Structure 1
Amino acid sequence: MNTANNNAEQGSKNNNPRKKALTLTAVAVLIALGAYGAYQALVASKVETTDNAYVQANVVQITPQVGGTVRAIHADDTDFVKAGQPLISLDPADAKVAYEQAQAQLAQTVREVRALYAGQSTLKAQITQREAEVARLQSELVRVQDDVKRRQPLLASGAIGREELEHAQAQVKAAQSALAAAQAAQVAARDQLATSQVQTDGTTLKEHPQVQRAGARLRETWLALQRAELPAPVDGWVARRSVQLGQRVNAGTPLMAVVGLKQAWVDANFKESQLAKLRIGQTAILVADVYGDKQEYHGRVAGLSAGTGAAFALLPAQNATGNWIKVVQRVPVRIELDAKELAEHPLRVGLSMEVKVDVQKQDGPALAAATSSRSLAQTAVFEQQEQRADEEVQRIIRANSGNGSGVLKS
């Protein structure tokens, strides 16, 4: 009997630690579930997070607009360049010869058009001279015709001989022929003036089509000569230089790139199940692996892509054929970064980021509205070349127009 009681007491002692362990485990699980529920309600439901995010920036390819041989390289990888700074120089010999030929052609054309205008004054003077000659010959014809009329009655009375009358009649025929020739010359002069005026009506020396055509050719060769120098279109850092001295390059060949890191942004690839609460304008906190958790970046959602990354792949998935396994898709979301923080802690293209977007604010659109007509990006580097080309054309026209104004005096 005592043995049975001892066994019961021993079993009760053995169960107590087990019950305590199970109780503690149950309490821990309940606490964990409560903590998880509280986290979901207070934090997770207000933030969408992803570590599938990478830094992006404008990578401007430097490509020549004309072909040529590389004679100088002015910037290398990692160098910072300003907009307009020379990067590469091509041999300009061929372009220079073509430009000098175009210069001479424009000067010659301006002088030819000047001669065309000046020839019209000569033609007008010739027409006036022809008119005077016609008037004189008409008077001469009237005179000799009157002589014939006076001599005809005298022939019957024998006062003059037939030979004298025939001589007077011959003078009439000669005067008629001379008058016809003068009238024909007058018509020819007028036609020649009309033909010349067709080429100049409604235009000036500067606006004449022949001068405009020669000017366009000069602009073309001037631009080709200037394009032997490849400037940086934007501020940025040089990357991927592949060009070498002496290399023969064709128009459009990539030679190097200029990366605008000052305008970098982040493309955060969120799962499709996370998009429901994402809106344009929401704030975000970002952390870069290169700096660690000690440096936070602040940004805002600038826009959501119109499709998933797989939809724009070179070979998009064809889910309508064969066996199918669902794969959660991701949509790129652009995050704009604070410019001051970006300047203080520069990033590089392709660096990975961790992004947390505060989704409590739900008044923003899910898709961007119509944008304004402003340019996303532009450079004035090439506009300066066009302006200088126009100035060169006007200089040559003035130098060859006679009065320095490009418009002939009447």
Structure 2
Amino acid sequence: MADNTTTTPNASAQAAQPTKRNGKRTLMLSLLVAAVAVGSAGAYFYHESYGRFYEETDDAYVDGNLIQLTPQTAGTVISITADNGDFVEQGQTLVEFDPADTEVALQSSEANLAKAVRQVRGLYSDVDNYKAQLEARKVDVQQAQADYQRRQKLAKGGAISQEELAHARDALSAAERAVTSAKQKLDSALALVDDTHIASHPEVMAAAASLRQAYLNHARSTLVAPVSGYIAQRTVQVGSRVQAGAPLLAVVPLDDVWIDANFKETQLKDMRIGQPVEIHADLYGSDVRYRGTVESLGVGTGSAFSLLPAQNASGNWIKIVQRLPVRIRLQSDNLDKHPLRIGLSTTVTVDLHDQDGPVLAEKAQTKPRYATDVYQHQLSEADALIAQLIHDNGPVAEQVGMTH
């Protein structure tokens, strides 16, 4: 009996242990289910109240204009005033060529224009000369006609011979032929200058065009910065003989950069032009925030415009989610303190609340997006030089300026 009383409590304890373990397991499972339910509810609530109104990607990079400086004429480099990383102002001289060849060509063109002006002045003088000759021949005709008529009357009375009358008639015919010849010469001279003045004469205009080109070639032997920015990709060296169109260096205006964000095609359903964007650059971290707006949605995926686009109709095909480039225009509020560089990685978040904007641009651009006026003065200076040469070599009555 003693053995039975000692084993019964042990058996009860052993039977209670699985019950406790099962209870703990049930409690843990219940807590896990509750946590999953709460997490799912929280995720659903987050998605419905916040998440579905924002799309984010870290496949986004800073992009901007890379303005290549290329010469329009060939030349030998004698001076370089900027190097990689230097800041340059619009219109600042960057590269200079040896100006000897272009100076000689310019002087030759100036001489040719002066010569053309003086030759055209001679044409106008010829016209005046032929007009005077024509008037003189007309006077000769009148005199010869008067002599002939007087001799006709004398011949009828027998006062002069028929031979003398014939001589008077021949003189009248010769005078009339001289008038015809003088008129033809005047018409030929007028054909060269009719409806023109010195500045608009074809000979002068051709010489002026040659001078304008020579002046531009000489001016272009000095290369200036088309915009303000920072120098990059300098390859030109002093002493190099470069040809027209060869890239020498690039100017990057960092105050006019944008973000190219590559979103998955599944993220673009509610994305519209004009929606606000928040950007964080990896360079500065999450403490620095940039603001911007969606400027355009790409018209094709990156693979569609690749050098070797995929041919899905051949071979085995595996569906891959495509990405579409989205351009984001940055606001300049933070660029001064925290400048961005081309190629930096960024994280972009687009606010999708406002969906009134278009998916694609609906209006054509009527104004140039980018422009420079640093080359305009070159042509005006050439025109001023042409006008001065015409003034110096032409008569006072023909002092008119050239217009391009």
Q: TM-score range by the shorter chain?
A: over 0.9
Residue from 38, 44, 62 that aligns with 1:37 = 44
Structure 1 residue 307 displacement after superposition: 1.1
Relative to 1, partners in 2 of residues 1:92 and 1:180: Cα closer, same or farther, differing over 3 Å? same
User: Following TM superposition, by how much is the alpha carbon of 1:147 offset from its aligned partner in structure 2, in angstroms?
Assistant: 4.0
Q: Does the 8 A contact of 1:305 with 1:333 survive in 2?
A: yes
Partner residue, 1:227: 220
Unaligned runs of 5+ in 2: 1-6
User: Offset of 1:39 from its aligned partner?
Assistant: 2.1
2:158 paired residue among 135, 151, 157: 151
The equivalent residue for 1:237 is 230
Does 1:124 find its partner at 2:131? Answer: yes
Q: Does 1:374 align with 2:381?
A: no
Per-residue Cα deviation, 1:132-155 (whole angstroms, up to 9, x for no partner): 112222223334444443338xxx
Q: 2:14 aligns with which of 7, 16, 34?
A: 7
DSSP 3-state at the match of 1:344: coil
Q: Could you tell me which of 279, 282, 294 is aligned with 1:286?
A: 279
d(CA) in 2 for partners of 1:390, 1:130? 44
Alpha-carbon RMSD: 1.7
Tell me, yes or no, if structure 1 residue 201 matches structure 2 residue 194: yes
Post-superposition CA distance 1:241-294 (Å, at most 9, x none): 001111111111111100011011101111000001111111111000000111
- Work out whether residues 265 and 337 of structure 1, in 8 Å CA contact, stay in contact via their aligned partners in 2: yes
Provide the C-alpha distance between the structure 2 equivalents of 1:10 and 1:212, rounded to a whole number of angstroms.
Answer: 114
Alignment-derived partner of residue 317 in structure 1 = 310
Q: What is the distance in 2 between the residues matched to 1:214 and 1:68?
A: 24
2:85 corresponds to 1:78: yes
- What's 1:169 paired with? 162
Corresponding position: 1:100 with 2:107: yes
Question: What is the distance in 2 between the residues matched to 1:363 and 1:145?
Answer: 105
Corresponding position of 1:111: 118
Which residue pairs with 2:332 in the alignment?
339
- CA distance, structure 2, for counterparts of residue 18 and residue 125 of structure 1: 130
Deviation per residue, 1:16-52 (Å, 9 max, x gap): 3322322222222222222222221222111100000
Q: Is the 8 A contact 2:93 2:222 kept in 1?
A: yes
In 2: Cα distance, 1:395 partner to 1:109 partner: 14
Question: Which of 52, 57, 61 in structure 2 is aligned with 1:50?
Answer: 57
Please say if 1:256 is aligned against 2:249: yes
Q: Deviations over 1:288-339 (max 9, x none)?
A: 0000111011111111111111111122111111111111111111111111
The alignment's TM-score, normalised by the length of structure 2, stands at 0.93
Q: Answer yes or no: is the 8 Å Cα contact 1:71–1:245 preserved in 2.
A: yes
Instruction: Tell me, yes or no, if the aligned pair for 1:54 and 1:352 is still in contact at 8 Å.
Output: yes
Q: What SS does the aligned partner of 2:253 have?
A: strand
* Equivalent position of 2:3 in the other structure: none
Name the CA distance, whole Å, in 1 between partners of 2:280 and 2:365.
32
1:68 is matched with which residue? 75
Using the TM superposition, name which of 101-110 and 8-17 deviates more.
8-17
Asked if structure 1 preserves the Cα contact closer than 8 Å seen for 2:198 and 2:398, the reply is no
- Give aligned-pair identity as a percent: 43
- What is the DSSP-based 3-state SS (H/G/I as helix, E as strand, rest coil) of the residue aligned with 2:335? helix
SS in structure 1 at match of 2:38: helix
* Paired residue secondary structure (1:331): strand
TM-score (normalizing by structure 1): 0.92
Q: Distance in 2 between matches of 1:26 and 1:144?
A: 144
> Counterpart in 1 of 2:259?
266
Question: 8 Å contact 2:131–2:186 — kept in the other structure?
Answer: yes
Distance 1:98 1:27 in 2: 90
Corresponding residue SS for 1:321 = coil
Residue in structure 1 matched with residue 209 of structure 2 by the alignment: 216
Distance 1:370 1:348 in 2: 30
1:140 is aligned to 147
- In 2, the alpha carbon distance for the partners of 1:103 and 1:21 equals 99
**Preserved contact between residue 398 and residue 404 of structure 1 (Cα < 8 Å):** no
> 1:182 aligns to what?
175
Tell me what 2:384 maps to.
Answer: 391
Instruction: Report the Cα distance in structure 2 between the residues aligned to 1:139 and 1:17, rounded to whole angstroms.
Output: 150
Helix, strand or coil at the partner of 1:262: coil
CA distance in 2: counterparts of 1:343 and 1:405, whole angstroms: 56
- Distance across 2 between alignment mates of 1:273 and 1:65: 47
User: Separation in 1 of the partners of 2:282 and 2:385?
Assistant: 54
Unaligned stretches of 5+ in structure 1? 153-164
Between 201-210 and 16-25, the greater mean CA deviation after superposition: 16-25
